[in-house]
Amino acid sequence: MSRYDAMFNRLRGHGEAAFGGFLMLGDPDLETCARLLDAVVEGGADMIEVGIPFSDPVADGPVIQAAAVRALEAGTRVDDCFGLLTEFRSRHTDIPIGILTYANLVAARGRDRFFADAAAAGVDSLLIADVPSLEAEPYADEARSAGVSLVMIAAPNTPGQTLTRIGRLCSGYTYCVARAGVTGERQQLALEHDRLFTTLRSVGAPPAVLGFGISTPDHVRQAIESGAAGVISGSAIVRLGVEQGADAVREFVATMKAATRSTISA
């Protein structure tokens, strides 16, 4: 059983949804990032998503783009990221780890090597944000060979035929976007995901986890009430980590995780 399957099974048994926290690896430096990753776990996150700093992160808004710039300016490279994850995995053996990255980084390293190195570092999934489902088959094959999951993105306006393809190729969880555009904090969410979640279940896709704009406990409750199995918060955590440090990240994550319990048990 994968770490994602074990996590979702455990949470269903406790009447909870999943909370995932995102950080950019190497931001603002490797040592500080390691402390922030630990703080996300200590705050109660069920899963971790991380970015590998890249010069053109087209799916990301200004907060996460700035994090990538800081990490690159600090000298963080792909090898450093895998090293950081290897150390993190040695401290946290059970929590699922997912990488969100871009095709250029995978191609530059070599697809087979990138997937193998991710698996060796203890990574559970890869989401390659700029690879469309029509081009994802080789990545799904490589993921299966390496023993990791290929996570794919779905949105309310994704055509049914594409959702069927996603259901066939995707594993671990399905990353569902809460709104159009790029990552970033928002005051309100406009969720119209009933059809999306129903279709994903009907085509056998893994559990739907909602991201893009999740930054308050109310967002968490809204997402779960709409049918999501979990949420991922990124920009809010990245901003807190830079501005206030690990204690603030730990407290924020604890508050967001608490919202996953109150919603399911209500």
List the catalytic residues.
Answer: 49, 60
The answer to whether residues 173 and 4 touch, using CB atoms and an 8 Å cutoff, is yes
| Residues 45, 80 contacting (CB under 8 angstroms) | no
The CA radius of gyration of the chain, in Å to the nearest whole number, is 17
CB-based burial of residue 81 (10 Å sphere; 0-12 exposed, 13-18 middle, 19+ buried)? buried
Distances (CA, A) of 64 to 141, 160, 237: 29, 30, 10
Phi and psi torsions of 124, nearest 5°: -100, -25
Q: Among 138, 142, 104, 107, which residue's Cα sits nearest to residue 125? A: 142
